[in-house]
C-alpha cells in the first residue's frame, strides 16, 4: 500500500509560514497576473463562480503571501508575520503594490487537508474520521477521514497536527480593507417597503435582486453586518459589495 501513496513535493521548500511550507508542487494555471491588467476582485469572483480549488501566491521582491481556496472561497492564508484574514489583506496589499500573482490548482482532497493550517499546530490524535495534516520532524502526512492520501518531505521541528474543519469557513477581509463590510446599516422606509410583499417596491426589488437580495436586506434590518451575513449564509463577500452600493444608491438603506 505504501507504494501507492503519492509523495508530494513542496512548492516552497524551506518557507517559514506553516501554510506555505506544506503547499504541494503544482504548475500554475494562471501566472504573472498583476494589477495593470487583472482586477484581483474580479479574478477572485471568477474563481468563486468556478468553485476552484488551489492556492494563490503573490510575490513582490522578497515578500510573499499565500491564500488557499476551497470551492472558490478563500479559507486560510499566510504571510511573513500574519495568518488568516490579516494575511489575506497582505496578499491584496502586495498585489496593489505591483506583486506578481500565480494560481496553482489542487485536488479537492488536498485543498481540504490544508484548509486547517493556521498559526499553530495541535496535539495529534488520529481518529477514524481525522482529516488534516500530521506534521513531524521527519515529514508530513495528509489524511482524509482517517486514511493516508499523501506524504510530503516538509517538516516541523516538533510533532503536531492541523485538523481540517468539516466545512472550511470563508475568510473575511480585515476592517482596514473592507470597512463597508463591518458597518451596520439601517433600513429606510423604502427598504422596509422592499420587504413588504404587497408593495410595488417589493416587486421591483425582487426582480432586480432575487430572493438572495431580500434575505440580505432583511439581515441588514436585523442589525447584521455584511461580514456577519457572509459568514452565516456562506456567501462570498465580494458578491455583497455591489448590492450594498445599490441599496445605498436607491435609498433602501443608510449607514447606521
pLDDT tens for 211-224 read 999 999 999 999 99
pLDDT at 181: 82
Helices 200-221 and 226-233 cross at an angle (nearest 10°) of 90
| pTM to 2 decimal places | 0.74
Top-confidence residue, 4 or 24? 24
Q: Which class for 214: exposed (0-12), middle (13-18), buried (19 or more C-beta within 10 A)?
A: middle
Q: Across all residues in the chain, what is the average pLDDT?
A: 91
Helices 237-249 and 40-49 cross at an angle (nearest 10°) of 120
Of 24-28, 85-89, 138-142, 202-206, the one with minimum mean pLDDT is 85-89
pLDDT at 169: 87
Backbone phi, then psi, for 37, in 5-degree steps? -135, 5
Per-residue pLDDT tens digits for 97-140: 999 999 999 999 999 999 999 988 999 988 999 999 999 999 99
Tell me the pLDDT band of 178, cut-offs 50, 70 and 90.
low
- Arithmetic mean of pLDDT, 162-177: 81
CA 252 – CA 8 distance, rounded (Å): 52
Decide: 185 and 253 in contact? Cβ < 8 Å: yes
Could you tell me which of 169, 202, 200 has the C-alpha nearest to residue 88? 169
Distance of CA 59 to the CA centre of its chain: 18
- Arithmetic mean of pLDDT, 31-60: 92
Tell me the pLDDT band of 2, cut-offs 50, 70 and 90.
low
CA 168 – CA 84 distance, rounded (Å): 12
The CA radius of gyration of the chain, in Å to the nearest whole number, is 21
CA 121 – CA 135 distance, rounded (Å): 8
- Arithmetic mean of pLDDT, 25-47: 91
pLDDT at 224: 92
**88 contact partners, CB below 8 Å, separation of at least 6:** 67, 74, 77, 171, 173, 174
C-alpha cell at 116: 486547517
pLDDT at 1: 54
8 pLDDT higher than 70: yes
pLDDT at 26: 98
Q: How is the chain split into domains, by residue range? A: 2-163, 179-255
Decide: 237 and 227 in contact? Cβ < 8 Å: yes
* Residue reference for cell 436585523: 222
pLDDT at 171: 85
Amino acid at each position: 500500500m505504501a507504494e501507492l501513496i503519492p509523495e508530494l513535493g513542496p512548492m516552497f521548500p524551506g518557507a517559514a509560514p506553516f501554510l506555505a511550507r506544506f503547499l504541494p508542487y503544482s504548475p500554475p494555471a494562471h501566472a504573472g497576473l498583476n494589477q495593470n491588467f487583472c482586477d484581483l476582485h474580479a479574478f477572485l469572483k471568477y474563481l468563486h463562480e468556478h468553485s476552484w480549488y488551489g492556492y494563490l501566491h503573490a510575490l513582490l521582491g522578497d515578500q510573499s503571501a499565500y491564500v488557499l481556496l476551497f470551492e472558490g472561497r478563500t479559507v486560510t492564508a499566510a504571510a511573513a508575520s500574519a495568518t488568516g484574514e490579516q494575511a489575506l489583506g497582505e496578499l491584496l496589499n502586495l498585489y496593489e503594490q505591483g506583486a506578481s500573482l500565480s494560481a496553482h490548482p489542487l485536488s479537492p482532497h488536498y485543498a481540504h487537508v490544508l484548509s486547517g493550517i493556521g498559526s499553530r499546530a495541535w496535539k495529534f490524535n488520529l481518529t477514524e474520521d481525522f482529516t488534516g495534516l500530521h506534521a513531524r520532524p521527519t515529514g508530513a502526512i495528509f489524511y482524509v477521514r482517517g486514511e493516508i492520501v499523501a506524504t510530503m518531505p516538509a517538516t516541523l521541528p516538533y510533532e503536531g497536527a492541523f485538523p481540517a474543519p468539516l466545512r472550511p469557513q470563508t475568510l473575511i477581509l480585515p476592517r482596514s480593507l473592507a470597512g463597508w463590510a463591518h458597518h451596520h446599516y439601517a433600513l429606510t422606509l423604502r427598504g422596509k417597503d422592499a420587504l413588504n410583499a404587497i408593495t410595488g417596491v417589493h416587486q421591483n426589488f425582487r426582480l432586480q435582486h432575487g430572493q438572495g437580495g431580500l434575505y440580505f436586506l432583511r439581515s441588514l434590518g436585523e442589525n447584521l453586518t455584511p461580514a456577519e451575513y457572509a459568514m452565516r449564509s456562506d456567501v462570498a463577500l465580494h458578491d455583497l459589495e455591489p448590492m450594498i452600493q445599490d441599496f445605498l444608491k436607491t435609498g433602501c438603506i443608510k449607514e447606521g
